[in-house]
Amino acid sequence: MQFALVYPFLYKVLKPTFKNCLWAGDETIREIALTFDDGPHSQYTPELLKVLEEHRVPASFFWLGMCVERSPKIAQAVYQQGHWLGLHGYSHRSFTRLSYNELNRSLEQTQRAIARACDLPLAQVQQQVRDVRPPNGIFTPQILNWLLEWSYRPVMWSVVPEDWVQPGVQISVQRVLQQVTNGSLIVLHDGACGGQDVAATVAKLIPQLRQRGYEFVTIERLWKKSALRMSMTH
């Protein structure tokens, strides 16, 4: 069953309820973030990287630790191309199924995998790779409290074209273009589910979004704008 039409309504309900998460950027600025979950993948991520490099677009990747271990060279290529890195858990298990210790270990394992693959000091990765997106976007207030306790930053979404059910490139593109607005945080997938079409989808999306005047930024940029906005309203 596809839920693509439900996500815009979910976003409107959840965003004001869970204010400690990053749902989107500044609605007054024409900046958007392309984000990719479930990678890195041996075939789909390199195809995607070529498109991003060709268009000089920075993106943000939320990685599974086990996929980083499977494709360390590809993980390193993503990092060296200057993209922003985040955590999606060690495996694609819903965070709601993990205990306090299991979730903590899952995130730490993923940081260790990134440090090894990208040839970085673990301390640097622990300090810099702190953005976490829960698999399937499923979380509870308790999970958010744990993430904040461990100094992670929960990242969600505002545009979900549901590309993982493979609706086809054209439909994924159309869904993004219908929903995109200032500050949009767009979720696509470069993993086993949805990755087949990701390079083609992004190759079509980027020129059309640029034509509408959008600038592509990373999650870090959206956080900074969000913090600035919060400080100005208090």
Smallest Cα–Cα separation from 103: which of 57, 61, 148? 148
Please tell me which residue in 37, 38, 190, 197 is annotated as part of the active site: 37
Residues 6 or more apart from 48 whose CB is under 8 A from it? 36, 190, 195, 198, 199, 202
189 is catalytic: yes
Query: Cα 194 vs. chain centroid, distance in angstroms?
Result: 14
Q: How far apart are CA 196 and CA 43, in angstroms?
A: 9
Under 8 Å between Cβ of 143 and 134: yes
Under 8 Å between Cβ of 149 and 104: no
Under 8 Å between Cβ of 67 and 201: no
The identity of residue 69, as a single letter, is E
Please tell me which residue in 41, 83, 88, 189 is annotated as part of the active site: 189
197 is catalytic: no
Active site residues: 37, 189
